A and B are shown apart, each in its own frame.
Chain A
Amino acid sequence: DAGVTQSPTHLIKTRGQQVTLRCSPISGHKSVSWYQQVLGQGPQFIFQYYEKEERGRGNFPDRFSARQFPNYSSELNVNALLLGDSALYLCASSLVRRNTEAFFGQGTRLTVV
Chain B
Amino acid sequence: DAKTTQPNSMESNEEEPVHLPCNHSTISGTDYIHWYRQLPSQGPEYVIHGLTSNVNNRMASLAIAEDRKSSTLILHRATLRDAAVYYCILIVDDKIIFGKGTRLHILP
Chain A residues near B (Cβ < 8 Å)? 4, 33, 35, 41-45, 48, 55-58, 90, 92, 97-99, 101-107
Q: B100: nearest residue on chain A (CB-CB)?
A: A42
Distance of A97 Cα from B93 Cα, bound (Å): 11
12 A-B contact pairs sorted by A residue (CB < 8 Å) = A41-B100, A42-B87, A42-B100, A42-B101, A43-B44, A45-B98, A90-B43, A90-B44, A97-B94, A99-B91, A105-B43, A106-B43
Q: Contacts A42-B99, A42-B100 known; A56 to B94 CB distance under 8 Å? A: yes
Distance of A18 from chain B, by nearest CB (Å): 24
Bound CA–CA A43/B45 (angstroms): 12
By the criterion of a CB under 8 Å from any partner CB, how many residues of chain B are at the interface? 22
Bound state CA distance, A2 and B85, in angstroms? 25
Q: Which residues of A contact B99 (CB under 8 A)?
A: 42
